[in-house]
Amino acid sequence: MAADGGDKFSVLLPTYNERENLPLVVWLLVRTFRQSGNNFEIIIIDDGSPDGTQEIAEQLEKIYGSDKILLRPRPRKLGLGTAYIHGMKHATGNFIVIMDADLSHHPKFIPEFIRKQKEGNFDIVSGTRYKGNGGVYGWDLKRKLIRLYRKEVLQKLMEKCVSKGYVFQMEMIVRARQLGYTIGEVPISFVDRVYGESKLGGNEIVSFLKGLLTLFATT
């Protein structure tokens, strides 16, 4: 199902020492957006990772094109909250997706967020974690969530937010409620990491690796 032609989704991907995960998360993101027919860009904000994350990001930019992969690095580790603010300045989408590069979430959920947003015309769509038995898992501050925001709503919230790091994501939702923004929720199963007990089967990993080898062989 192709989305409304006018919408563009900017994914903000802050990275710090994610050289292992970055190619996989970007591949999954690109594939997810292409399959769902949504216009997108991925903004990689690397905080001066010493492990060579930025070099990997440069390879990915070559592979997918600089219109899809935007590298907006910073010289040193300045933290999550400011990474989003930095990334926002470069985002051309009217919707912003915030997620983590550590593969704690599968990008395949993003089309559900987009559908949910359309359905209720929400300002924000947040992933909610449920245990397998349907009970609410509750907030764990260390757990990062996927979120979809209207760009102008995110800008307003960022002006108001004072926290840095993980708490930042919590504060955003609290402030959004205070300001009367509408929030839709998409249940994300707690175990749905890309690795571990995930839905990313061995064959998906294999097809990714094969694809990666082909890409690196041809660039």
pLDDT digits (tens, 9 = 90+) for 61-115: 999 999 999 999 999 988 887 898 899 999 999 999 998 888 877 788 899 999 9
- Average pLDDT score over residue span 114-122: 96
List strands edge to edge, sheet with 124-130: 69-71, 39-46, 8-15, 95-98, 147-150, 124-130, 183-189
Average pLDDT, the chain: 82
pLDDT digit string, tens, across residues 146-172: 899 999 999 999 888 777 666 777 788
Q: Which residue has the higher pLDDT, 54 or 137?
A: 54
- The single-letter code of the amino acid at 7 is D
Structural domain boundaries of the chain? 8-218
Grouping H, G, I as helix, E, B as strand and the rest as coil, residue 173 is helix
Q: Nearest 5°: phi and psi at 96? A: -120, 130
User: In the chain, helix, strand, coil percent, each to 5?
Assistant: 40, 20, 40
What confidence score (pLDDT) does residue 138 get? 47
pLDDT reading at 203 higher than 90 = no
Residue 135 above 90 pLDDT?
A: no
CATH of domain 8-218: 3.90.550.10
Q: Which helix (H) or strand (E) holds 98?
A: strand 95-98
